[in-house]
Structures are given as C-alpha cells and as structure tokens.
Chain A
Amino acid sequence: MRTNRRVHKKMSRVVSHSMSVGGVILLLFLMVIFNLMGTSQCSQLMKSINDKERQLVMCKAELERSVAQWESAKASGNLERSLLKRGMAMNYPNPRQIIRMDGKGNPLPGQTSVALLQRRANAFRTAQYDSSVRGVSSRRRVR
C-alpha cells in the first residue's frame, strides 16, 4: 500500500517534535529526581551533623562534669579530711630536717640542720676526748 507523501512528511515531523519534547520532559524529570535525591541526602547529612553536634556538646559537658568532680575530690580540704580519717596529716618539713646539698653532695653552708649536726659532732668529739684523756667512758659517766 502506497503511503501519501504529505502524510509521511507530517508524521516524520510529529515524531521528531515528540522526540524533542519527550527529551526535554525526560531531562526535567531527571533533574527533579536528582534534586529530590540531593535534598534527601542533604537533610540526612544535616540530621547526622546535628546529632553529632549534640553528642559533642553532651560529651563536652560530661567532660566538664568529670573534671569538676575530680577537681572537687582533690581539693585540699577534701584531701585533708580523707587523710585525717585515716589518722594522717601533711606538713612541710622543719628547716632542721632539711639538708640542701650541692652537685657534689656536700651540704650547703648556712643551714640549721647542718649547724645542728656539727654541734652533735662536736659534742661526740668532746666525749671521745674526755674518755681518752681521763680514761672515763662517756657511757660509764652517763650511768
């Protein structure tokens, strides 16, 4: 069966038109789909970021609380109370109990503790001298 040339021409024009319109609509459709997918991904990411931010704030607050509890526990008043409960107390040593030494291990001059030791040493030497000269033992003398 022969086809009318005019009809054929018209049909081919319609087909080409429909292809271009269809293409445009398909493009629009795809854009809409991608937009939707992107939006949904964005909102998901936003939610997860917000969750993480909330967690971060909570963790920071928790850290602050823990640090505060630790600092409160090691406050000097609390420490002293804890020590007292166990029958202990802390104090800085008396100068008579401290001997400061130089790098070679010799005691630095001008210390009460050193003067005290020197006086003891002198007393010991005197006692030795007494015992050697007089023949009397300091121990015996004490008795």
Chain B
Amino acid sequence: MRVGAKARFWIPVLFLLGVGAYTGYSLIKAHFIIDVTRIPQYDFSESIPSLRGGIYCKAPGGTAYPLVKSTPCWEFRLDPVAMTQVVVRAKGMKNPRTIRAQAATIADVLNLPRSQLFDMVKNYSARYQLLGITDDRRAYDILSNRSLVGGVIIRNTDVRRHYEGKRLCHVLGGVNRERSGVDGIESRYNKALSGIPGKISGKKDGRRRVISDKIEEKIPPVPGSDIYLTIDHTIQKIAEEELKGGVSEFGSGAGWCVVLDVKSGKVLAMASFPDYSPEYYNKATPEERRNRAIGFNYEPGSVMKVITAAAAVDAGFAHAGTVYSTDRAEKDARGEFKYYKLPNDSHAMGPKLTLKDAIVHSSNIVIGKLGFDFGAERLYSYFEKFGFGRPTGIELPGEEGGIVRNFHKWDKATRSRAPIGQGVSVTAIQLASAYQAIANDGIRNVPSIIDKIVDAKGNDVLDASRVKRERVISVHAAREMRKMMLGVAAAGGTARRAKLDGYSVAGKTGTAQKARKDGRGYEPGLYCATFCGIVPSGVISPMPGGPAAPPEVVILVTLDFDEKRPFHQGGNSAGPVFKRIAERTMRYLGVTPDCPQEGLDDLEF
C-alpha cells in the first residue's frame, strides 16, 4: 500500500520531468547546438539597389513619352570550372548532357555564335565570363534550369534603356557602370533619379542563401524619382531630323537648334549635331558629347542687331522710321571721323535707310552707328537685361554664359561692333531666350527644360519658385521690333528662303565670321550661319480687323561651317532649315495660319 502510494506520486512526476527535460534539450539544441555546430551560418549586411527613375518627355494628348528607363534584367556569366563539376541530366534521360550540348544551348538562347561558346567553356583560367545581359524571360527560364545547363551564374541587375536611340542624347546624358549619371539630366539630377537603396542584414547558410527566419533588418529600397521634361517628342523629332538634313545638305561640320515656347519660355526641342548614342557614352568623343545649344560660345553676328534695335526703340532713342545715312565715313562738326572702325555692308544699300530697312537688309553700318550713338553703357545694360553674359539658369550641366565684357572695357571698335554681334559671344539658348522676350511682348522667362519631378509617392518635388520672369522691354517696343523683323523672311529680305506658306515670320539672319583660335582676327571663309525666328509673328491678323495671331514658338537654327561652303549665309542655309522645322511644327501644333492667302499663287487650279 505504501509502495503503491509512492509510485502513484513519483511515476507521473518522473514522466513529466522527463518530458520537460527532453523539451528543454530540444529547444536548446534547436537554438544553439545545431545552429552553431552543424549548419554553417554567416552574418551578412547588404544594400538593395533601387531602380533608377525614368526620364519622360511630352507626347500628343498631354501624355508622357518614355525616353529613358531602367529595366530589371538578368546578367549571365559562365563558370567553365563549375560546368565540368556539375552533372546535368535532363529528366527521363539516362546519360548526362555533354558540355558541348550545354554550350550549344547557351549559345542558341543568348544568340551567340556557338564557336564562341565552345572557346569559352574550354578557357578554365577565366572564370565568370560575361555571357550577356537580357530581359528575355525565356532565356532566364532555360539558363536557370539545372537539368539543361550548369555552370551559369545568374545575377539580377538593371540596364538603362534609351527607347529613342540617339534622340535628345545631349540633354539626357549617360550613366557609367556604377549607374551614376555622368552628363546631362542624368548627371544634374543624379540624386533624385537614383532613389534610396534599401538594406538587408541577417544570416546566410553555407550555400549563401538568406535564411528567411534569420533576417534581422530589411529596409526596402525607394525607387528613384521620374523626371518629366518640357520637351515635346514630336517637335524634338522634327528638329533633329531637319537639323541633321541641313547639316548634310549644306556641308556644315556641326549644327544646333533650340525651339522655345513663347508664353512660358519652356524648351520644346533642343538638338545638337554631331550626336552620339547615350547607351555607349564612354565611346563618344568629347566633340560628340558637347551640347552646343548651351555649352558653346560663339559670335552671333547679325542676329544681335535685333537686340540693339530693341534696346534703342525701348529707350525711345529710335523707331522703325528713323532714317540713317549709310555713309561709312561720316564726319562730325570738327571734320573727324564720327565712327571708329565701322563695319562695312556686305551688299550695296541706298544712301539712306530707315531702321526697319536696316533690319530687313541687315545693314552693319546703320546698326553700328545706332549702337555707337546709343551708348555703350545703355547697350550693355540691355544686353544684361536680355540675359547675355551669364548662364540662363536652365537645368542642364555645362552651360556657358557667353562673353560680354563690361562696357568700361569696350574700346572704340567694340562700341560699333558689339551692336552687330561682333566682339561678344553668346550661346544659342541665350539668343533664343532674348527672342522669346521680344515674342512675349517684352517679358523674358528663364528657359526651363524640367516640367516636374515625381517621387515614388507621386508627389511633385520640383521647386516651383525657380520659374522666373522679368520685363525686358515695353510691349510697344516688342511689337515694333516684330513688325520690323517681318520683312526679313519675305521678298526683298535677307532670308527669303525662310518664308513660310501660310504663316508670318518675324526673324533675323546672322552670318558671323569665326574667330581665329589665336584670338587675332577671323578665319577667312568660315562662318556660323544663324536664323532665329518667331512664328507666327504676332503682328498679323488672320481676319481683317481682328486681333493678331499670338506668337507660338521661337526657333533658332545655327550651322557651324568649319570649311568653305557656297551657302554659308544665315538666310541661305539656316533659313531653309528653320522653314522646314517651323512648317512641320505649325502643322503638328495645329496653329491656324495667319497669312492664308500667301502661298496660293504657286497652286495649280
């Protein structure tokens, strides 16, 4: 009885103690003994790369058109040593696949020559040879199938894909191997595009696989922001096609073109030639990489006459009807030459010219005299107002500011040469921006190329306060100037070949000699031919008595001749290129013609 009572007590107690001890042992074993002794584990801490943001431009209907995007891809590498060690046997097959058969499969999947693969698998000294990078799902499925091929190492990566090839290459720029922007928008907004990389830390097993329940920290990456440009895809396409055509037609070594929206100053197109493929940025030469629309200072020539005349008209110093003598050797009351080193006119003019005719026929003498009389200080202040001599502030790296020396340093020659665009250097974007001010009734908007930057959460993070606008000249002066410029691209003007069918053009030609590299004088026979125009002119009404059609775009075209060519003048070379760009752009924008009757004479009925 006594024994029975003790047994009744101790048997369950011992049983429970046994179970408890076993459970405790199991727990300790699971948490310490096995982890430490049997399965090798490694602490790791890695960063998770974030997907770089895309760059978009505008497409018809207000939609966004992708120009550059990062696409997740697979990088395939071949380890010939591992290939010999792994036995690859297809399902249901008795014999393993030969290395030659595996190499053939890899070659076929990745579109590589078989002979190349056969050489690669024999080269045991070179491990991890790059096979290729692709986003082809089929290739991934086959090459990751261990019953088909062995020794192929697959790594997740991403590639920067330019959907339009060379289009807008100078604006977009490129990225290096570290996925960091090296030029253009890619460089300027590298931080925003890159996003924030994530982080993962924890333990990996012997095969370097992450042990899922041993992850200590996991912070997902934040994708990069998307950048939306003000560039219109169609206008950019037109500008590039016509510029390229013009460069080859007229035999210039380089050329550039800028199209600005008149109301906002936004860049609708920016093209530069020669160009390059941004996917192979490192293979492009420095000359090809140069964005000449913003990063090239050049003497503008006669296109600058409009700025001089606008300054004089705005200050009340002259008007369209003011008459000037075309006598170069005019003398003052004391019998001395009134103007020093006044430039000569390239073609004969009458003895007297009005300011309007001086613009239409591009008289160096008249505008030189006007600028000289107007005064260096006042002219310089207007140059500053129009934005010359300093970068415009467009959101692109590598912008030049032009060279406009302070008026204190102007010698006698500069006083009569700067008004006609000699002795000063400008960039294409500065010049286009100055014409935009004339087109926009005297208000100059700082040119911009970024429309918005949208982060991963969908918020626009672009600083809206960067948009700056200021009045440069009065409304009256701007309209007066546009009226004067109307005759340039018309019969009797210097740019007859820039005349549009159905639309009026307020523009100006420029044929500037290229300065010698040693800084002493000009290269004989080498020119920069420019035409800058406003379409429609904004002074002609499509209906009798109605309001004038508002100006829509400013187009600047420059062809840089590094060899002597027969058609080197602005009106003969840059003018026709301007015309083609303007006509196609007007058609695309659906602008109502303001001169519908013009151009009907050549029609056959």
Query: Footprint of B on A, CB under 8 Å?
Result: 7, 11, 14-15, 18, 21-22, 25-26, 28-29, 32-33, 36, 43, 46-47, 50, 61-62, 64-65, 68-69, 71-72, 75-77, 92-96, 98, 100, 108-112, 114-116, 119-120, 123
Contacts and interface: CB of A to CB of B under 8 A. Distances in A.
Contacts, number: 112
B213 A76 contact: no
B5 A68 contact: no
A96 B24 CA distance: 92
A123 B604 CA distance: 12
A72 B233 CA distance: 15
Contacts of B215: 50
B274 interface: no
Contacts of B590: 98
A119 B213 contact: no
Interface of B: 2, 5, 8-9, 12-13, 16-17, 19-20, 23-24, 27, 51, 66, 69, 71-73, 135, 137, 156, 161, 163-165, 212-213, 215, 233, 237, 501-502, 541-543, 546, 584, 586-588, 590, 592-594, 596-597, 599-600, 603, 605
Contacts of A32: 20, 23-24, 27
A71 B69 contact: yes
A123 to B, nearest CB: 6
10 nearest CB pairs, A to B: A110-B542, A61-B72, A68-B71, A50-B212, A92-B587, A18-B9, A25-B16, A75-B163, A112-B596, A65-B135
Nearest to A110: B542
Contact of A112 (B12, B13, B20, B501): B501
Given A64-B51, A112-B599, A71 B66 contact: yes
B51 A46 contact: no
7 contacts: A15-B5, A25-B20, A26-B16, A64-B71, A95-B501, A95-B586, A109-B542
Contact of B600 (A7, A26, A112, A123): A112
A47 B17 contact: no
Given A32-B27, A95-B502, A110 B593 contact: yes
Nearest to A108: B592
A96 B501 CA distance: 10
B20 A62 contact: no
B593 A36 contact: no
Contacts of A61: 72, 156
A127 to B, nearest CB: 11
Given A29-B19, A95-B502, A21 B600 contact: no
Contacts of B541: 110
Given A32-B20, A95-B502, A111-B593, A65 B72 contact: yes
Contacts of B603: 96, 116
Please report whether the interface of chain B is mostly helix, strand, loop or mixed according to DSSP: mixed
Consensus secondary structure, chain A interface: helix
A110 B69 contact: no
Contacts of B501: 95, 112
A22 B12 contact: yes
A97 to B, nearest CB: 10
Nearest to B161: A68
Contacts of B73: 65
Nearest to A92: B587
Given A29-B19, A47-B213, A64-B72, A76 B597 contact: no
Contacts of A71: 66, 69, 163
A59 B164 CA distance: 26
A26 B165 CA distance: 74
Contact of A69 (B16, B51, B135, B587): B135
Nearest to A122: B605
A92 B507 CA distance: 24
A36 B605 contact: no
B23 A112 contact: no
Contact of A29 (B23, B135, B233, B588): B23
A29 B27 CA distance: 13
A28 B543 contact: no
A69 B69 CA distance: 11
A29 B16 CA distance: 8
A21 B502 contact: no
A46 B216 CA distance: 13
A62 B19 CA distance: 51
Given A71-B163, A75-B164, 8 more contacts: A21-B13, A32-B23, A77-B164, A110-B593, A112-B502, A112-B593, A112-B599, A115-B596
A132 B481 CA distance: 52
